[in-house]
Structure formats: structure tokens, C-alpha cells
Structure 1
Amino acid sequence: MRYTSKYFIRLLTLILGIAQGLVADARPNIVFFLADDQSKFDHSAYGNEKAPTPVTGKFAEEGLVFERMYTGQAICAPSRSMLYTGLNPIRNGCFVNHINIRPGVETITKHLGQLGYEVILAGKSHVGPDGQFQWTKRFQPVKIPGLPRPWIPVEEMDAFMQEPGDKPFCMIVASEFPHSPHIKDTSFGVDDVKVQSFIEDTPDARTSYATYYQSIVEKEKEFRAVLDMIDKHGLRENTVVFYADDHGHKRGKFTVYDSGLNVAFMVRWPGKIKPGRTDALSSFTDFVPTAIELAGGTVPADIDGKSLLPVLAGKTDVQHEYVYGVAHNQGIQQRHVFPQRSIHDGRWHYIVNFNSLEQIEGDRAAGKPIDYFFEAGAQKHASQPTEELYDTEADPDELSNVAGKEEVAAVKARLRGALFQWLDKQGDYLGEAGPVVFLKGHQHELDELDPKFNYKIPAALVDSLRGLKNDPHVITGPNAQPPVVAEPIVPGNVSRKGAGGAKGSVSEGTSLEAFLQNKRDYCAKQGKAFSEEKYRQAFQRLDVDGNGVLGTNEWTAGGKKH
């Protein structure tokens, strides 16, 4: 079908009319409640009859429930940065946990602030830098005796809503529940929980679920407090309330499966949004443009997301053709190398694993040297091949990978082509040929020893990545520079040059004295203070058999999971 310019003008007029219809009376207040580490399938609103979610369950009956809302990365800082910028993780720059967004990226604080809104963060932040997230008010979480995590700051929020002033406001209420550590003193027994099909149903798993459920109860109390506060101050009719989970929990964090990316999302606006459910394929990038239009503004052309107002008005169930996923495991406690990218069309979900064990074994068979850190990362995902494809209508838990089946070859080719076109447009450093590289994070570096996390690597590899870690902002985005691609790091042969210059090595069978001297030399070159006690302790941790020499039998692949 050919579309004329008149058709597009009529369509644009219709969409603008819908948006104006929702905000015609007055620009509404916006309250967005964001839960921390809760899976969509752990909600009664999404079919789990055992989930302790009466508040969100009742809220779902009053609002529009999204079946296919997706975050782009199942980890705290990237998911929040995406939600608050309207840009996908690679474009906004926060695709490694704990790092800042890219310099120059505009956020919801600027977009709504220049439209005359108070923009408030109440609760958890986990985004930065402050210069780009200039909240007009910042209400800090409040510690509660007996709870493992702080509560939302209800007193400050209540005081503000009592006297909000003349401006409309947007308040992000960011809970720290049900994020671990979970509440140990739980009222749930092992038979009171629902274990998903992709989780091994063991007594330990059920005990973990029971404490997790208790933390969900705490989150529900917080959400109830927010809704009661809105009613108490007569704000219900002119306040759009959003509820979402930042990403999944069980097989949810650090993954691109639907259990991590497909999140609970509900919106209520009495008299404006008709209660019900929608299958619109939607993205966290859509919140900022939605908020801008609710505030009466015009959405910037360079934002990745689209306004949800036509969906909220009940005029369409079509939002995006595709949604995308990103995953990185560098810079987190379970540090390792396993970058992933994915694309979803609402039914078919295609995943590329760029450092699969399949690739490692192929390189080994071809006689190529194998990087220690790359192999350690691949081994943690030994069951995941380079390509995965799931029919989420027939297989919602994504248990049957059909990527190798001839009858879906055309589907895979279509999604693969669209995915790599998108990566190129986003300014991703990854393409069809990779490359897999080391990334510079805020903490949890691959080549460090840290007693707190029981990190263990061969002594020869401590600090071996100096000069080889890439700044995530430098190798991505519109002005991306080619990444530093390291030669394979092989234990026993790590004396080599990188971007930072020559690197000293510690050979197998190294004595304590030689180990300490190596570290003295390293610290002197780096201008760092040398702590003999620190490195003695590091040596002792590595010297498992206590013979005063580091042998290959004392090497371990990767760190302990937390």
C-alpha cells in the first residue's frame, strides 16, 4: 500500500488530537513508582495466584496493564538511565552497571523542568552524574530498624504533596524493595511460593523465594502509602500514576531473556485512561516522551522512545516493531565477559552471545590461543550457544532454542539483519564480527583481587589488563573510537604490551618474595602506595596448599558468585 502525504498529515493530526485530549483540562501531575528487582511473573496481576501483591493487583484493575513492556537492560543503573533519558543503553552511555550516562545526554529533569514542572526523586538513585540529573528536590531513602534496606521517604513526600505549590510535579518514587538482601523473618512457608519452570525446584530455592516474597510485601506497603498519600491530598483525579519493576529477579538480572527484560508496567489516570490490558510492544524509552507530551511539550526528534499517549487513550495497540536488549557482566560482583544483544518482535526473540563457549572451542580447534578471562566468562554460560531463538507464544519461558531449525531460518535472518542494523545506528562497538573487549568499570574489575568478594585469579594475571580496558563512552556513540582489542591473555605468558605500555608478569611457581617484589615494582610505576600486608594476604589466598609457591593447581577460573 502506498501512503500519501495527506494520509500522514491526517494520522499525525489524529495522534496529536489524542494527546491533546488526554491533557486538555490541565497538565497532570506524574507519579512513577519503580520497584527494585521484582519479576513480572511474581505479580497476581500477571497470573501468579501466590504472589503477595494485593496493592498492585487492585491498581491493575483500575488502570491499563501492559503485557509487553520491556526494559533494555536487566540491571539497575542501565535500566533507570534508560527510563529517565528516553535513550537505549548504548546511546545514553550507561550499559555497564554503576557508570554514568554519556556527557551531554539530556534527562527527564531537563525535559520537564523547562516545561515548568517540579521534578523530584524520592528514594533510590543509582544514576549519574548529578549535573545531568538535576532534581528540583531530592528526598533520600530512610533507614528503618529491622529491615535490610531503607524505605521510601514518606514524611518528606507527604509534606510536599500537602503544599506542592503552583507548578505541576513529576515525582519518581524509587523503592529499594524487593532487592536483596531479603527479609529473613518471613511469614511465607516453602509451600506458599510459586517456583518458575526454569528454576530448579529445591528446598533452598523455595526458602529463597519465601524471603523474597516477604520483601515484596514491604514494597507493596510502600506503594500503598504512595496511593493513600495521593488520595489524602486530593490529587487522585489529576495525577497519572505509573507502576513498573526495573527488571526481573529470578533468571532476571544480567540477562536478555524475557524473565529479565519483560517487566510489569501499569498506568492509572481516573476518567482519562480506561482500565484494561494492552499487547502494545513497548519500551522503557517511551516514558520520557510520554511525560513530555503529558506536560504539553514536543518530543525531541533524537529520542529513541515514542509517546504512549495513543496507547493510553485506547486508540491503538501498536507501538514498536521491535524492542532490543543489551547485557554485560563486566563491572558487577559476578564479574566476567559475556556480552549479549537481542531483538524481540513481540513473538520471536533472537539473541546473540558474543563470547560463547561454542566460539571458544571453535577457536581452540583452529589452534588459536584462548584468553583466560574470555574462557572463564564463557564457562559461566556453557549451555548458551552463539545464537538463540525463541517462539515466546509457544514457549513463554524460553526453554526451547529453535535457532538451528530450518523452518524458522527466515525469521532468524530477518531478526538478525534488523538487530545489526540497530546496533550500527546506536553506535555500538559490537558488530557481526564482535569484537569482544575488556571494559573499564566503576568497580569489580576482572584483574583485581578483593577479599570482600573472594575474587581469585592466577597471581600472574593480577593487574594484567592495565591499558587494555576500554572506556564505554569512548568506544560507543556518535563519535566512537575503535576499541583496544587485546591479544589473548594466557597464564604463564602475560608479559606483553597494551595501550598502557609493557606489563610485568609473575610466572608459575612464584615464591612469596618474588610476588611481593613484582607488586612493589608495579606500585612504584603506577605511583601507588605499596601495602605488603595486602599482597601477603593475596598470596596466601592463592597459595592453597601452603607450600610458599603458586602452582597451576591453585588457579581458579573466575570469582565466587554473590
Structure 2
Amino acid sequence: MMILAKPYWLLLILFVVLGCSVKDTKTSQSKQSQQKPNVIFILADDLGYGDIGAYGQQKIKTPNIDKLALEGIKFNQHYAGSPVCGPSRASLLTGMHTGHSKVRGNPRWTNSGKPVELGESDITVGDVFKSAGYNTAIIGKWAMADAKETNIEAMPSSKGFDYFFGFKTHKEAHHYYWHRLFKNNEPYILTENDFAQKKGKYTHDLFTDQALNFVDKNKDDPFFLYLAFTIPHLELTVPEDSKKPYQILDWPKRKMNTKGHYKNDEEGHTAYAGMVSRMDRDIGVLMDKLKSLGIDDNTLVIFTSDNGHEYDRLKQPFFNSNGPFRGMKRDLYEGGIRMPFIARWPNKIQQNTETNHVSAFWDFMATACDITKVDECPSSDGISYLPTLLSQDKQVKHDFLYWEFNERKGPIQAVVQDNWKLIKNSKGLELYDLSQDKAESNNLIHAQPALAVKLLTKLEGARTPHPEFTLQQLTP
């Protein structure tokens, strides 16, 4: 038997160690390349198209959201599911537009006056991610279970989400110092909170903490986080530290009603700006968390809003929250449904890009299926926008988009096809060329009768009957 001198033994040991190290590194890299991407979907509440810097805002500072746009892609024509939150969120979750969705209006705006909730047969994007092996969570505003008694079938735990922390109903989500949240299926009581006196814990801050904890806990496995912030929905209130940067500016004052249902702060402009900036700050904290955990490159982050703004409803808007568009919350004009939409995914999405691809909330279901590569995707009205995110040429386009809305001025219906938009309301028909008339100020219904008939045919064939939503004017 040949005996090696000590230096040769050392070389052999070194060779084996280095070989194992290279093998382990390759295995680690292989696992990382095969790992499914994390997805964080951040949804603001009543944030207008023009409320962030990346979409033209001049007064409110949103550096972290703007950075998402610089490091990702900005959609110029992305639409909410509805001009109010309930049906808009249902569209996002189920992939159905309001002509097919189970939830087509907010809780009290039904024929019976009773809320329509998601049921056992309703499949959500949570189910899709769960079936693909993801850990899933909804943190913030659920608003899909508004019955007085807890209907487990309508709760996130029955809709594909492993974890829920936040508001179960719409009304509770109107108050930032509300005393009752839900943790999974059980009430989570904040004993020190008093919404009338604005005392206790600011619920938005709790949602941020919960999101950071969820990401930290699931850093080693693929996760889907639906982070549904309640900012900047009324009521308008925010801790003083978020208002201070704006209080030193020479802004005009807007006195708010502090005694009604919404316990607003006395001055509106600094409160609204402070709320948006606080959300922006916390999105920055979340992005820093991803980087510190080493999972930033493998995480797709999406930011958008559920419908148009409500606060800037003034004869002379202060923030110009709807940007170049007409309308706001509860309108089917562009200001009510066209949303800021930003997606960031390092090394996948080309930085500082934008797209005019026409997309909508109900596309997220198909996109989730595309990302997770599930064997069977639930039927939906959506088309995956993953090719647009990845700058691929195979992006399929919608024939048309459809909305219906029954509240207050309703019923209103609308379709968008390419650059054309048709609105049907109690006054008749309106036709706009969005490529030339973003503000929808020039009704071309008489100038383009043939096109109007074509779009009206699509509008009238876009819906299925629903016993609670029958396109008749409702009063709450």
C-alpha cells in the first residue's frame, strides 16, 4: 500500500473539501433558481391615480413607491374591479368582473339590503397560491365577510389563506383606532383603543408589523402576502409625526367634520398627505426587510389601489388626486377606476419601464396561475399580464373590459375596447376616445353611431343575472 507524505494528504483533503464546497454551492444555487417566487400584493384604499409621485403628484411625498416604479414597471392603463372597495376586492380575489362576480356592490347596496359574501364555491387567488405550495396571508382589510355573525365560509381561512390579521368588515375598517380586529377566525381585541377619542394603537402600524413578521417567518419558503392597507380611506386621521413635514408648509386649511361617523382630524390636507406618506414609509421598511433577508431578488411586489379617491372631492381639487382624469370614487369615469399599478421584480422586470397594456383587477387570477404554474387555473374573466411584466412579445389582449355599478347615481355600466369607452347611465349613452380625450369631456355618441352600437352590444352581453344586483336604482 502506497503511503502519501503529509503534504500530499493535505492536498487531497483540500481537494475533497473544495470539491464538496463547489458541489454544495451549485446545489444551493440550483435550489435558489428553482424556488418559486414570493409575491406581495399591496393594496391601498381609496388612493387616486394621481396621489403618488410616479403618477404626477406634486405635494405628497412618496419616495418609496416612486422607487418601486424606478426599479420596476409602471402600468398606464390598469383598472380596478369597481369604483368602490367591496366588488373591486372581490374581482381581484376571484378573477371575475362585476358582470359575473358574486359580489357586485358594497354590503348594503343589494336588493335585499343584506350583504353578499363569498361562499364555499368561490375560488380565490389564495386558493391558487395555496395549491402551488405557498404559505399565504391576508393582512389588513378583508371586507368579504360583512354579516353580523361570522360566516366561516366567507372568512380568509376558507379562501386559501393560512393567516388573517385585520378587519373583517367594511364598517370597522372606517376607523383607525377601532378596538376589534380578527386574528384568523377569532376576534382580536385592542383593549386600550377608543376610536372616538383616537386613543390606543393605530391599526395601520399593526398591519405593517404583522406583514414584517409574516415575511420574516416565511423567508425560507415561497409565500403570498396580500397586504390590504386601509390608508387613505376616510376617516382622515394619522399620528402627529406623519403630519409634521406638511404642517410647516404654507398650505390652505381644510376644516373637516370631526363629529360624524368618521372621526376625522380637524385639518384635512395635512392628515391626508401624512396618511399617504406613512404608508409609503412602511412600504420602504418592508422592502428593506426583503433585502436584509436576502429574498429581494426572488420577490415580486405589486402596488395598486382599490378604486378612485374620495377626499379630493372639491370644486378646486388641492392634490389633483385623479390626475388627468374625470371622476373619482363611485364613478365609472376613468378617475373612479383607472389605478396606479406598479410591479417590481429584480432581474425579471426591466427597470424604469412603463406599459400601455390594458389590464384590470380580474387579471390577477390568471397572472397568479401563470407565476405559480399550477396544473389547473380556475375559470376567470382575466388574462395573465406576466408576459408584460417580463417584457415578452406573447401578451394576449382583452377584447373588452366591463363594469357595472348600482350605488347612488346607478345603475351605470361601462365597457372599454382599445381606446374607446362607452358608458350607459340614466341619462343615456356616452362615448369617448381615450387616446385623444383622457378627461372624457367630448361625448362622441352622435359622431360615431356605428361604433356605439357595436360597443353597446358587448356591454349588454357582458353580464349574467344576479338576484341581488338587477341593475335598478337602489337606495340604502
Normalised TM-score (structure 2): 0.70
Q: Is the 8 A contact 2:422 2:429 kept in 1?
A: yes
Q: Which amino acid aligns with 1:43?
A: I
Contact 2:128–2:160 (CA<8 Å) still a contact in 1? no
Match of 2:449 among 409, 416, 438: 409
Query: In structure 2, do the counterparts of structure 1 residues 53 and 310 end up closer, same or farther at CA, with 3 Å as the change threshold?
Result: same
Query: Partner residue of 1:108?
Result: 125
For residue 133 of structure 1, the aligned residue among 159, 165, 172 is: 159
CA contact (8 A) 2:406 2:471 kept: no
Letter matched to residue 142 of structure 2: S
Correspondence for 1:521: none
Match in the other structure for 1:387:
429
Aligned to 2:461: 421
Equivalent pair of 2:95/2:363 in contact (CA under 8 Å): yes
The number of residues matched between the two structures is 364
For residues 208 and 414 of structure 1, do their structure 2 counterparts lie closer, same or farther at Cα, with a shift above 3 Å needed? farther
C-alpha deviation, 1:147, in angstroms? 8.0
- How many Å separate the matches in 1 of 2:134 and 2:278? 30
Taking the TM superposition and a 5 Å limit, the aligned residue runs for 1:78-477 are 78-98=87-107, 99-101=116-118, 103-128=120-145, 129-130=154-155, 132-140=158-166, 143=177, 145=199, 150-164=204-218, 167-183=221-237, 186-187=243-244, 188=246, 208-250=268-310, 251-275=327-351, 276-298=353-375, 300=377, 302-316=379-393, 319-329=397-407, 336=408, 338-353=410-425, 356=426, 385-403=427-445, 405=446, 407-423=447-463, 426-427=464-465, 436-437=471-472, 446=476
- Check conservation: 1:311, 1:318, Cα contact below 8 A: no
Residues 325 and 90 (structure 1 numbering): CA distance in 2 closer, same or farther, change over 3 Å?
A: closer
**Contact 1:35-1:176 within 8 A present in 2 as well:** yes
Answer whether contact 1:254 1:328 (CA < 8 A) is retained.
no
Q: Distance in 2 between matches of 1:149 and 1:155?
A: 10
Q: Shift in Å at residue 107 of structure 1? A: 0.9
Contact 1:106 1:132 in 2 (8 A): no
Do the aligned partners of residues 302 and 215 (structure 1) sit closer, same or farther apart at CA in structure 2, a change above 3 Å counting?
A: same
* Cα distance in 2 between the residues matched to 1:225 and 1:79: 27
Pair 1:133–1:319, CA change in 2 (3 A): same
C-alpha distance in 2, partners of 1:192/1:57? 23
Question: Are the equivalent residues in 1 in contact too, given 2:411–2:472 (CA < 8 A)?
Answer: no
1:63 positional shift = 0.6
Give the letter aligned to residue 348 of structure 1. Answer: W
- What SS does the corresponding residue of 1:126 show, helix, strand or coil? coil
Q: Partner amino acid for 1:110?
A: D
Q: Could you tell me which of 50, 53, 57 is aligned with 2:62?
A: 53
Give the whole-Å Cα distance in 2 for the aligned partners of 1:234 and 1:313.
Answer: 22
Deviation at 1:328, TM superposition (A): 1.9
Report the alpha carbon displacement of residue 34 of structure 1 after superposing the two structures with TM.
0.7
Q: CA deviation at 1:255?
A: 1.5
Conserved in 2, the CA contact under 8 Å of 1:73 and 1:325? Answer: yes
Match of 2:25 in 1: none
SS at match of 2:122: coil
Give CA-to-partner distance per residue, 1:318-346, whole Å, 9 cap, x none. Answer: 532322222121xxxxxx46211100124
Q: Retained in 2: the 8 A contact 1:151–1:176?
A: no
User: Identity of paired residues, percent?
Assistant: 26
2:40 alignment partner in structure 1 = 31
Instruction: Say if 2:41 and 2:301, in contact at 8 Å, map to a contact too.
Output: yes
Task: Please state how far the C-alpha of 1:175 moved relative to its aligned partner.
Answer: 0.6
CA RMSD of superposed structures (Å) = 2.9
Q: CA deviation at 1:167?
A: 3.5
Aligned partners of 1:324 and 1:342 also within 8 Å? yes
Shift of 1:225: 2.1
Structure 1 contact 147–183 (Cα < 8 Å) conserved:
no
Write the deviation string for residues 248-300 of structure 1: whole angstroms up to 9, x where unpaired: 11442211111011101111110011120011010111112211221121453
Deviation at 1:26, TM superposition (A): 2.3
Q: Distance in 1 between matches of 2:79 and 2:389?
A: 16
After superposition, the Cα gap between the structure-2 partners of 1:230 and 1:166, relative to the gap in structure 1 and judged at 3 Å, is closer
Amino acid at match of 1:300: C
Task: Specify the code of the residue in structure 2 equivalent to 1:220.
Answer: D
What is aligned with 2:149? none
Q: Work out the CA distance in 2 between the residues paired with 1:45 and 1:268.
A: 14
Worse overlay, 58-67 or 110-119: 110-119
Decide whether aligned partners of structure 1 residues 435 and 174 sit closer, same or farther in structure 2, where only a CA change above 3 A counts: closer
Change (3 A) 1:132 1:343: farther
C-alpha separation between the residues in 2 aligned to 1:97 and 1:40?
21
Question: Which of structures 1 and 2 has the larger relative contact order (alpha carbons within 8 angstroms, sep 6+)?
Answer: 2
C-alpha distance in structure 1 between counterparts of 2:378 and 2:420, whole Å: 28
Structure 2 vs 1, CA of residues 148 and 112 (structure 1 numbering), >3 Å: closer, same or farther? closer
Which amino acid counterpart does residue 345 of structure 2 have in structure 1? W
SS in structure 2 of the partner of residue 151 of structure 1: helix
In 2, Cα distance between the equivalents of 1:222 and 1:393?
36
Matched residue, 1:500 = none
Q: Secondary structure at the match of 1:153?
A: helix
Q: Which of 169-178 and 91-100 deviates more?
A: 91-100
Task: Determine the C-alpha separation between the residues in 1 that align with 2:413 and 2:92.
Answer: 19
Do the aligned residues in 2 keep the contact of 1:29 with 1:168 (CA within 8 Å)? yes
Residue by residue over 1:128-154, the C-alpha shift from the partner in whole angstroms, topping out at 9 and shown as x without a partner, is 311642420113378595887633523
